[in-house]
Amino acid sequence: MPTIKDVAREAGVSIATVSYVLNNKRSLVSDDTRRQVLETIERIGYTPNSTARNLKASRTRLIGYAWHQVPNGQMNPVLDQFIYYLAQAAETHGYHLMTFTHPTDDPVPAYAELIRTGRIDSFVVAETTRRDPRIRFLLDSEFPFAAFGRSEANWNFNWVDTDGTEGMYQAVEHLIGLGHRRIAMVAWPEDSISGEYRVKGYHMALEAAGIETRADYMIRIENREQAGREAFQYLWSLPMADRPTAMVAVTDLVAVGMMNQAELMGLRVGQDVAIVGFDDAPMSQYLRPALTSIRQPISEICTALVNQVDALRADASSSPQHVLIRPRLIVRQSCGA
C-alpha cells in the first residue's frame, strides 16, 4: 500500500508539502504544486490515514505564544500577568507554553515556520489589531488558535476579550455618581480595536446620564507616560468654565502620566481633579494617591483561552466561540471617593 513517503518521492516534493496539501493548507503550497501532489495521489492510489494524521497533528501538547520587547517609554503590565496565567492554565490542561519572537512588522514567517516544522499544536494570539496579518494567516492555514482580543468583524475565529465598553461605562458612571459632569477621556488612536470599545463605553455612560459629549474632551494619544502628561496639560489649559473636573484614561500608564503632570502643576489628584485608569496594574495601588482603575480578570481570560484551544484539539471543526468577560471597577483615592 502506498505511503505518504511514496507520494512525496513520486511528486518530487517534501513530506511536509504533501501534508499541507492533504490538510488543505492552501497558503503554504502553490497551486501548481498542489495539483502535482493531487495527481500523484490519484496515480499511485494513495489513501490518507485520517486517524494517524489527526494523532500526528496533536502530538506536541505545546501552545505557541509570541513574546516581544516593549518599546521604550511604554509598558504593558497586563501582558506580563497574561503570560504567567496563560502558562498556568495550559499546564492545568496538560499543555505547555512555548514562547517565540518575531519582527514587529513581519510576524507571519515565524508562525509559518512553527507550523511547517510541527513543533506546536496551536497558538494563542494577543494584542490583536484590525486586519491582523497573524489571524488572517492562521485562518487561511486552518491552523488551531484562539485570540485575546478581536479583529475584523467578518473574521470568525475563537476569541476571549475583556468587555472594555462595560469597564469604561462603570468608570464614567462612578464619576457621574460623585457629581462630575465635565468628564474628559484620554484614548488611543482610532485604529485600536480595544481602545474603541472603551471609547464606546465612555460615550454610552454620558448619554445615559443626559450629558452631552464634547469633541475637546476626547484626546487621542499613544500608550506612553509622556503622552499622558501632555494630554493632561492640554485639558487643564481649557478655560476654567470648560475645564474637566474628571478624566478617564485608556490605560494605567497614561493615567500615571496624567497624575504626574497634575502634581507638577501643583494640583491635588482626588481633590482638584479626579483621574481613573484602566487595567489595574500592580503599581496602581501603590501610587499616591492610589489609582482608581478597571481590573481585567486575566486569570479567567487565560483559562477561557486554553479551554478554547483544548476544544479545537478535540474537534477542529467545532464552531468558533466568543467569550466577553466583565471587568471590575476598583475604587481608590484618585477619583476623590
Q: Locate 166 and state its grid cell.
A: 462595560
pLDDT of residue 108: 92
| CA dist list (Å): 11 to 25, 43, 115, 285 | 18, 10, 22, 64
Q: Does domain 4-56 have CATH number 1.10.260.40?
A: yes
Please say whether the beta carbons of 308 and 160 come within 8 A.
yes
Burial class (CB in 10 A: 0-12, 13-18, 19+), 331: middle
The closest alpha carbon to 256, from 203, 133, 264, belongs to 264
Domain with CATH 3.40.50.2300 in the chain: 60-162+298-326, 164-296+330-335
pLDDT of residue 217: 98
CATH topology of domain 164-296+330-335: Rossmann fold (3.40.50)
Please say whether the beta carbons of 94 and 121 come within 8 A.
no
Burial class (CB in 10 A: 0-12, 13-18, 19+), 312: buried
The closest alpha carbon to 252, from 178, 193, 332, belongs to 332
**What counts of helices (H) and strands (E) characterise the chain?**
12, 12
Q: Does domain 60-162+298-326 have CATH number 3.40.920.10?
A: no
Q: 123 CB contacts (<8 Å, ≥6 apart)? A: 63, 64, 65, 111, 114, 138, 143, 144, 145, 146
* Helix segments in the chain, DSSP class H: 4-11, 15-22, 31-44, 50-57, 77-92, 108-116, 133-141, 164-177, 193-208, 225-236, 252-264, 298-314
Domain with CATH 1.10.260.40 in the chain: 4-56
The CB density around residue 286, as the number of other CB atoms within 10 Å, is 9
**pLDDT tens for each residue of the chain, 337 residues long:** 677 788 889 999 887 788 778 776 777 788 889 889 888 988 888 876 543 444 444 468 999 999 866 666 666 677 778 999 999 999 999 999 999 999 888 899 999 999 988 889 999 999 888 889 999 999 988 899 999 999 887 899 999 999 999 999 999 999 999 999 999 999 999 988 999 999 999 999 999 999 999 999 999 999 999 999 999 999 999 999 999 999 999 999 999 999 999 999 999 999 999 999 999 998 899 999 999 999 999 999 999 999 999 998 877 777 899 999 999 999 999 998 6
Please say whether the beta carbons of 131 and 73 come within 8 A.
no
